Amino acid sequence: MERLRGLPHRDGDYLILAATDPAQPYGAALAWPKRAEGRRPARTAGAYVLLRDGNPILYVERGGKGIVRLVQLEGEELTEAIAELATAAHDKVIPKLGIERVDGEPVMGSGLEEEIIAAGFSRQPRKLVAAG
């Protein structure tokens, strides 16, 4: 946690870390944000966490097939956060993202599909992809 605090940042800065990275304290030293229902994040190899100002906001499940909102994100805030994931995939920070589920629900045909495409993903059969 001290390593995170020591990083220079401005309000609204994003950081993507592997869920198992020692600098990522959630699930180890700190509890994950409470979710009323659905999937729970874990410190799993191949999973990632998107932090904004040091707070976890999105969890990318192992294999990049699902994302879980760790805080209430809608509209422009969600599009901006998803765009950070697309950039991470393009920059090879995250090996691949082929989103099939958001919060455990299918993304195709959902109300989130167009927002995710606007954030830099492309439509493929049964998933939305951001490739490097």
- What residue segments make up the domains of the chain, in order of their start? 2-130
- Taking only the tens place, the pLDDT of each residue in 35-76 is 756 667 889 999 999 999 889 999 999 999 999 999 998 889
Beta strand 101-102 with 66-69 is parallel
* Of 81, 52, 53, residue with least CA distance to 67: 81
Burial class (CB in 10 A: 0-12, 13-18, 19+), 7: exposed
- Residue reference for tokens 């009323």: 36
Q: What is the pLDDT of residue 1?
A: 45
Q: Is the pLDDT of residue 85 over 90?
A: yes
Q: Across residues 82-88, what is the average pLDDT? A: 94
Instruction: Give the contacts of 75 (CB within 8 A, at least 6 positions apart).
Output: 115
Q: Is the pLDDT of residue 2 over 60?
A: no
Mean pLDDT for the chain?
A: 86
Q: What is the pLDDT of residue 28?
A: 84
